[in-house]
Amino acid sequence: FLALQVRLVMKAYSFIRENVPRVLSSVKDKSSTIPVPRISQYLYFLFAPTLIYRDNYPRNPTIRWGYVATKFAQVLGSLFYAYYIFVRLCIPQFRNSSQEAFNLRGLVLCIFNSILPGVLILFLVFFAFLHCWLNAFAEMLRFADRMFYK
């Protein structure tokens, strides 16, 4: 939930930073129309996989539903594989250490034996969320600018 809140705060900051100067300059120039974005633009921005607010984004003409299904299948596959790694490689290390008396050597060995599975799980979470999940939602929103890694 903290990551979701941080994302929403970052999006709100971007929205305010892009729109307040336009509104202030139109008030300063005493323009008859104030450029306030529509609620549909803001809602699209909330769900689009970007942190930079624009009134209009490049859009694809169609949604490739096969691509969306493939990305969601990759998310599920990554989650199952991360669960398998956790159950097979991490839990047995800590289960064995909980049955023994506490010693520093056992704790250090347990931590070092869990480093590689932990890194694999982090890579899987990175792939599942930042690549598959964001690409699936970008495709469903017809969001054409897919430079997530830049």
- Whether 52 contacts 19, CB under 8 Å: no
Q: In whole angstroms, give the CA distance from residue 91 to residue 117.
A: 11
21 is in which domain, residue-wise? 1-57
Ranking 5-14, 16-25, 86-95, 132-141 by mean pLDDT, the lowest is 86-95
pLDDT score of 84 more than 80: yes
Whether this prediction's pTM lies above 0.95 is answered by no
- Do 97 and 123 share a structural domain? yes
Q: Number of structural domains, the chain?
A: 2
- Do 110 and 100 share a structural domain? yes
- Do 83 and 133 share a structural domain? yes
Q: In whole angstroms, give the CA distance from residue 123 to residue 81.
A: 11
- pLDDT per residue over 26-83, tens digit each? 888 887 777 888 899 999 999 888 888 998 888 999 999 999 999 999 999 999 999 9
- Do 64 and 23 share a structural domain? no
Residue 17's pLDDT is 94
- Do 64 and 49 share a structural domain? no
Q: In whole angstroms, give the CA distance from residue 140 to residue 83.
A: 27
- Do 15 and 49 share a structural domain? yes
- Do 130 and 102 share a structural domain? yes
